Amino acid sequence: MLTQVAKGVLVHQSELLLNNTAVVQGKAGVLVVDAGITGDEMTCLANDLRELGQPVVAGFATHPDWDHVLWHAELGKVPRYGTARCADFMRDVRSNADWKARAGEGLPPEIADEVPLDLFGLIIGLPAETAQIPWDGPQVRIIEHPAHAPGHAALLIEERGVLVAGDMLSDVFIPMLDDFNSTNDPVEDYLVGLRLLEGVADDVDVVIPGHGSVGIADQVRARIDQDRAYVEALRDGIGPNDPRIQSPKPGWEWVSDIHAGQAESLAQTSERDGTPR
Per-residue model confidence as pLDDT tens digits over 239-249: 899 999 987 67
Per-residue model confidence as pLDDT tens digits over 126-167: 999 899 999 999 999 999 999 999 999 999 999 999 999 999
> In which domain, by residue range, is 45 found?
2-273
Question: Strands of 153-157's sheet, edge to edge?
Answer: 140-144, 153-157, 162-166, 206-209, 215-216
Instruction: With a cut of 60, say whether residue 181 has pLDDT above it.
Output: no
Instruction: Supply the pLDDT for residue 269.
Output: 78
Question: What CATH number is associated with residue 38?
Answer: 3.60.15.10
Instruction: With a cut of 90, say whether residue 274 has pLDDT above it.
Output: no
Q: Which of 24-28, 49-53, 178-182 has the lowest mean pLDDT?
A: 178-182
> Residue 102 corresponds to which amino acid?
R
Asked if 194 and 177 count as a contact pair (C-beta separation under 8 A), the reply is no
Instruction: With a cut of 80, say whether residue 21 has pLDDT above it.
Output: yes
Instruction: With a cut of 70, say whether residue 190 has pLDDT above it.
Output: yes
Instruction: Supply the pLDDT for residue 78.
Output: 98
Domain count, the chain: 1
Instruction: With a cut of 90, say whether residue 250 has pLDDT above it.
Output: no
Asked if 175 and 197 count as a contact pair (C-beta separation under 8 A), the reply is no
Q: How confident is the model at residue 189 (pLDDT cuts 50, 70, 90)?
A: very high
Name the residue among 102, 135, 125, 103 with its Cα closest to residue 116. 103
First CA to last CA across the chain, in angstroms?
Answer: 46
Q: How confident is the model at residue 50 (pLDDT cuts 50, 70, 90)?
A: very high
Instruction: Supply the pLDDT for residue 252.
Output: 84
d(CA 142, CA 259): 29
Q: Helix axis angle, 186-198 relative to 219-235, nearest 10°?
A: 160
- Its pTM stands at 0.95
pLDDT averaged over every residue in the chain: 94
Structure-model confidence comparison of residues 249 and 104, the more confident one: 104
| Average confidence (pLDDT) over 243-269 | 87
Instruction: Supply the pLDDT for residue 217.
Output: 87
HEC string of the chain? CEEEEECCEEEEECCCCCEEEEEEECCCCEEEECCCCCHHHHHHHHHHHHHCCCCEEEEECCCCCHHHCCCCHHHCCCCEEEEHHHHHHHHHHHHCCCHHHHHHHCCCCCCHHHCCCCCCCCCEEECCCCCECCCCCCCEEEEECCCCCCCCEEEEEHHHCEEEEECCCCCCCCCCCCCCCCCCCHHHHHHHHHHHHHCCHHHCCEEEECECCCEECCHHHHHHHHHHHHHHHHHCCCCCCCCCCCCCCCCCCHHHHHHHHHHHHHHHHHHHHCCCC
Instruction: With a cut of 80, say whether residue 272 has pLDDT above it.
Output: no
Task: Give the number of other Cβ atoms within 10 Å of residue 66's Cβ.
Answer: 19
d(CA 182, CA 9): 35
| Average confidence (pLDDT) over 11-33 | 97
Q: Which of 177-181, 251-255, 271-275 has the lowest mean pLDDT?
A: 271-275
| Average confidence (pLDDT) over 71-82 | 98
